[in-house]
Structure 1
Amino acid sequence: MFKRKLIFVLSFVLLLLVPTICTAQFYFGKNKVQYTNFDWQVMETEHFQIYFYIEEEEIAQIAADIAEDFYPTLAARFKHEIYRKIPLIIYSSPNYFTQTNVTWSMLPESVAGFTEFLKGRVVVPFHGSYHDFAHVIRHEMVHVFQIAKLQSVMSLSLQQRMASPPLWFIEGQAEYWSTVWDSEADAIIKDMVLSGNLYTLENIYQISGSFFMYKLGQSICQFINDTYGSEKLILIYENWWKERSFNKIIELTLGEPIKEISKKWQYFLQKKYFPEIAEAGLAKREARQLTKKGYALKGVPVQFKNGENTEDWIVFKANKMGYSGIYMMSPSG
């Protein structure tokens, strides 16, 4: 049974997408209670302000090292620098984390970190795993750069209206650049492919916000990187001001409509997880249709010698003249 804790979500980058936050995020009849009075300290590094309380100073130092080590990587990938110090608020346990007043909403147990949009604050608790702790910090740092990059591009272009980025792209890219493709992610995608339940880019919204969406988004971003070029994931941001919808931005950047990109991504996964497809391929993806009218079937490739030359032909059964017959045509059409 899949019981993986979501360790990356509640990114307030979503405030880019909607003008108001739904009041349904409140739990009816409950208030957020702060049981603990924290004596906050501030640790400043080159790019960060680390907020912590004295009991967790060691964890705060680890967080500072992780964040500073990852900053140059993201600055290079996004081709962007953040000149203000990024606020990074650390809690030593999930229980303390749920008391945070950075957001007024109640934090469910599945949330283990978020990036707040208005002031660009990153809030991360320590869950006991240093590996996951580093992953969450890197993931949320990607969100910080995503917000800063979009703000910069739209400001330089003097555009006031901005296309809304879909959650699968925002979270998928954050996953792709913050962690490796591991056996857990592979098992999730493989199960979807083999069971015939793989979502397309057109209907992935149906699982928006779920852990499955994160891994599908990671897979899609990796596919874009490997198929269209590593520079495309950033060129998408550079082209953001040129179109009014995300689908159009993708088409402008990658040169193909998002529906075709979705088909190619699905076919790539089918070839990866179905050995027979990987070896032979699917006709609708690998072949070119030669006949357009009536029925034509049982095509057989043959070769004829014409003097010193050898010609390729296709022999097939069809009903071109109103009754079945045997025909032949060149593979070139």
Structure 2
Amino acid sequence: MSKRVILCLLALVVSALSFPLTAEAQYFGKNKVQYKDFDWAILETEHFEVYYYEKEKEAAFDAARMAERSYARLSHILDHEIKEKVPLVLYASHADFQSTNISPGFIGEGTGGVTEFLKRRVFLPFTGSYAELEHVLTHELVHAFQVDILWGGDARSLLANPFAFQPPLWVMEGSAEYLALGGLDPLTEMWLRDGALQGYLTPIPILNHTYDIRVYRFGQAIFEYIGRRFGPEKVGELLKRIAASRNVDRSIRHVTGMSMQKLSEQWLEEVRKTYMPQIANHEKPANFSKRLTDAARDRTGFNLSPAVSPTGDKVVFVTNRNLNNGIYLASTLDGRVLKKLVEGGTSGDLESLRFFYSSFDWAPNGRLIAFPAKSSGKDDINIFDVDEGKRVARLRFDIDGIRSPSFSPD
């Protein structure tokens, strides 16, 4: 997700207020540009209604099996059953997913899936990776369980008061990542190792008021610590106590026998004990490399997908420093931005740059770059002349999604 996932509870409430509360199986709304007229079919299983269209039938049947397998595991760990079948809407590509009207808001590159609050509808794209599909699907199912446990069948009552109790995001996203992955994954371990080295490990009381990627990574690590030390079933107990008390600190104390502050101190101590020996001989990046971008200085949310030119003196990367996502060219010698090459999201010609799960490539001549982008509802490969500052070719294929194009050596 995360990957960005639209599951901050207030965002979910707004979403619930913004789209029609009833929907036909064949049509989900009229608010976004629709490039395709999907002919929806429904596959019913014991716990799900899976919505799909013909071209993704095989993937939909596989997703249904994944969903039932994840449901069985989650219901056992959380000791909870969702009474009504969960609607699961599967799109064949990220481009199709971005056109959904289940959620009225724009779906960005980093959004891997969404669980809609009011009706517990889970919708996500199939991007070609079954491992990624199962991860995102299970993550979203945890959110469906969370909503059912925390608000039960009375979710509509929250709409009367959008400022009613909302658990911290580290609880919602951290438990979802932990239960989806069953522990720590290499990405989160990288965050823990780097956090220990750089000194930005975040105590739980501060995470209560944090709204960035740390709620996923550190939240997952906290729940992994709880599950390993007290048993994975304590995750379900904690959610149920939060539902009853509307107080996270008291709930942690009831389930673990210690305060939130004490749990935070012991978790941080274990993280440091685990990772500090591993990094004892590691140098900080500033000691042997040069920093080219500075998000705080440039007021950017991200600088991603760097690709160094064949001569090594230039780099292209994606940033949102001018609100819209754009591709910039910079010097690798001093980090100075040479020019903005492309601005995405401003026309139907370049609706969305594909960078979150993708990469760019330079031609051997050091003049052309190739990158994927959404245009008119489909993904293209764009060939861009860096020197001239213009696109010289756009390659279209009859496929659902494109990632990481690469030039041949010749």
TM-score of the aligned structures, taking structure 1 as reference length? 0.71
Which residues in structure 2 correspond to 1:271-286 (within 5 Å)?
271-275=273-277
Q: Mean alpha-carbon deviation: is it higher for 109-118 or for 201-210? A: 201-210
Deviation of 1:252 after TM superposition, in Å, equals 2.6
Paired residues of 2:93 and 2:126 also in contact (CA < 8 A): yes
Bigger shift: residues 265-274 or 173-182: 173-182
> Please, which of 184, 195, 200 is the counterpart of residue 198 of structure 2?
195
Q: CA deviation at 1:84?
A: 1.5
Q: In the comparison of the two structures, how many residue pairs are matched?
A: 260
**2:71 maps to amino acid:** Y
* Cα distance in 2, alignment partners of residues 84 and 19 from structure 1: 20
Q: Which residue of 2 aligns with 1:88?
A: 88
1:121-270 to structure 2, matched below 5 A, reads 121-152=121-152, 163-179=165-181, 180-205=183-208, 207-210=210-213, 212-270=214-272
Distance 1:198 1:241, change over 3 A: closer
User: For the structure 1 residues 205 and 256, does the alpha-carbon distance in structure 2 shift closer, same or farther, using more than 3 Å as the test?
Assistant: closer
Determine the structure 2 residue equivalent to 1:300.
none
> Which residue identity does 1:71 align to in structure 2?
Y
User: For 1:18 and 1:42, how far apart are their aligned partners in 2?
Assistant: 25
* Residue matched to 1:10: 6
Query: What CA deviation, in whole Å up to 9, does each residue of 1:33-80 have, x standing for no partner?
Result: 221111111111111111011111111111111101111111111111
Q: Residue 205 of structure 2 aligns to a residue in which SS?
A: coil
Contact 1:164 1:246 in 2 (8 A): no
Letter in 1 for 2:239: Y
Q: Describe the SS at the equivalent of 1:177.
A: helix
Question: What's the offset of the Cα at 1:6?
Answer: 3.1
For residues 238-275 of structure 1, give each alpha carbon's deviation from its aligned partner in whole angstroms, at most 9, with x where no partner exists. 32354342222222322222111111110001110123
CA contact (8 A) 2:16 2:116 kept: no
Does the CA-based 8 Å contact 1:163-1:243 persist in structure 2?
A: no
State the alpha-carbon separation in 2 of the partners of residues 45 and 204 from structure 1: 38
Q: Which has the higher helix share?
A: 1
Question: How well do the aligned residues superpose, as a CA RMSD in angstroms?
Answer: 2.9
Distance (Å, rounded) in 1 between the aligned partners of 2:133 and 2:124: 8
Residues 113, 140 of structure 2: 8 Å contact kept: yes
- Conservation of the 8 A alpha-carbon contact between 1:7 and 1:113: no
Paired amino acid for 2:266: K
Checking the alignment, whether the CA contact within 8 Å between 1:163 and 1:246 is kept in structure 2 is: no
Report percent identity of matched pairs.
Answer: 36
2:369 — aligned with what? Answer: none
Q: CA distance change for structure 1 residues 189 and 87 in 2, over 3 Å: closer, same or farther? A: same
Asked which structure has the greater CA Rg, the reply is: 1
Q: Which has the higher strand share?
A: 2
The 5-angstrom pairing of residues 15-26 of structure 1 reads 15=10, 20=14
Counterpart in the other structure of 1:61: 61
Report the 3-state secondary structure (helix = DSSP H, G, I; strand = E; otherwise coil) of the residue aligned with 1:89. Answer: strand
Shift in alpha-carbon separation, 1:135–1:33, aligned structure 2, 3 A: same
Question: Is the 8 Å Cα contact of residues 60 and 90 (structure 1) preserved in structure 2?
Answer: yes
Secondary structure at 1:275 match in 2: coil
Q: Determine if the alignment matches structure 1 residue 43 to structure 2 residue 43.
A: yes
Provide the rounded CA distance (Å) in 1 between the counterparts of 2:16 and 2:212.
15
How many angstroms does 1:205 deviate by? Answer: 4.9
- Could you tell me which runs of 5 or more consecutive residues in structure 1 were left unpaired when the two chains were aligned: 24-30, 279-333
Structure 1 residue identity aligned to 2:7: S
The answer (yes or no) to whether the contact 1:150–1:237 under 8 Å persists in 2 is yes
Unaligned runs of 5+ in 2: 18-30, 281-410
Shift of 1:226: 1.9
Closer, same or farther: CA 225–67 of 1 in aligned 2, 3 Å: same
Bigger relative contact order, structure 1 or 2, given CA contacts below 8 A and separation 6+? 1
Compute the displacement of 1:18 (Å): 8.1
CA–CA distance in structure 1, aligned partners of residues 117 and 208 of structure 2: 22
